[in-house]
Amino acid sequence: MFHSIHGRRTLAAISVLAAGLAAGACKGKHSQPAVKNEEPPPVAQTVSSFKMNDEAASTQLLKGFYVLENNAWRWTAGSFTVLLKPPAGAAVRGGTVSLAFTLPEIVITKLKKVTITASVGTTKLKPQTYTKSGPATYSADIPADLLAKDAVTLDFELDHSLPPGSVDMRELGVIATAVGIESK
């Protein structure tokens, strides 16, 4: 008899629980969170150069960039990656990559200097060292054979960055404002 009553109570509890779940189930339309595609954007959408506040090009920021600030710039981490479309003629004449950025006073005060190196695949481009705070531009030539694709991934690496917690909870590199490739 105990099993029979216990079994009925369990069955009743399960029925009440199921009815409650069914009543609370989603019956109306609710906005679903957007699922961001982690694949690079189609080449037709990829551009050769852009400012960090260009929302249409933000999918070309592949890694190492933080949120847009002051609708103009983004902090980078110590390494960061962008996807760019080689401009017309670059596959024949070569090109030049440019990264416009600001090196904040706090970074120079703590690190004394920062060297930036870009690479395309396994080919490292010319490094440049910065010892003063303020606006700056990293620029390096890219051989034509590296620009013979529909899109090029550029990896930037800083030799020093501020570790999380020293100034901010994020690893901080430079303040990026624009990036691009121009044909020679």
pLDDT per position as a tens digit, 76-104: 999 999 999 999 999 999 999 999 999 99
State residue 21's pLDDT score.
35
User: Which region among 29-43, 104-118, 170-184 has the lowest average model confidence (pLDDT)?
Assistant: 29-43
Q: How confident is the model at residue 166 (pLDDT cuts 50, 70, 90)?
A: confident
Q: Which residue has the higher pLDDT, 20 or 132?
A: 132
The CA distances from residue 110 to 50, 78, 131, 133, 173, in Å, are 30, 15, 11, 11, 12
> Domains in the chain, ordered, with CATH?
43-183 (2.60.120.260)
Which run of H or E residues covers position 6? helix 2-24
Angle at CA 132, nearest 5°, toward 130 and 138? 35
User: Per this entry, what is the length of the chain?
Assistant: 184
pTM: 0.76
132's tokens: 């003063």
Buried b (16+ CB within 10 A) or exposed e, 81-106: bbbbbbbeebbeebbebbbbbebbee
Neighbours of 66 (CB within 10 A): 19
